[in-house]
Amino acid sequence: MTRAPALATKLIEDDAVCVTRFEFAPGAETGWHRHGHDYVITAITECRMLLEEPGGTSREVTVKAGEAYKRPEGVEHNVINAGDAPMSFIEIELK
């Protein structure tokens, strides 16, 4: 299945952090990637995400607008907007 790519806009990058805003149309995806740093996500809109994970597994997660979560370096996945509305979040990678 071919999906539209999410729009990633780098806001800040220096020796300490990389801050990126991600915007997804319904059905858009990041594409498979592996996080090279610990990171924090803060949802701008409600984010209904389908997370495809190694080994062919997937799970759906909903993060409400304004909520945040942290994940460790090494996470590998593809993030897909599973909702019917655009979604957006800020990702802060901790170098």
Query: 1 in a domain, yes or no?
Result: no
Domain count, the chain: 1
Predicted TM-score of the model (pTM): 0.95
Do the domain assignments include residue 64?
Answer: yes
Give tens-digit pLDDT for 44-95: 999 999 999 999 999 999 999 999 999 999 999 999 999 999 999 999 999 9
In a domain, 2, yes or no: no
CATH number of the structural domain spanning residue 54: 2.60.120.10
Instruction: Report if residue 87 sits inside a domain.
Output: yes
Name the pLDDT band for 2 (thresholds 50, 70, 90). Answer: confident
On the 0-12 / 13-18 / 19+ scale of CB atoms within 10 A, 23 is middle
66: domain range? Answer: 7-94
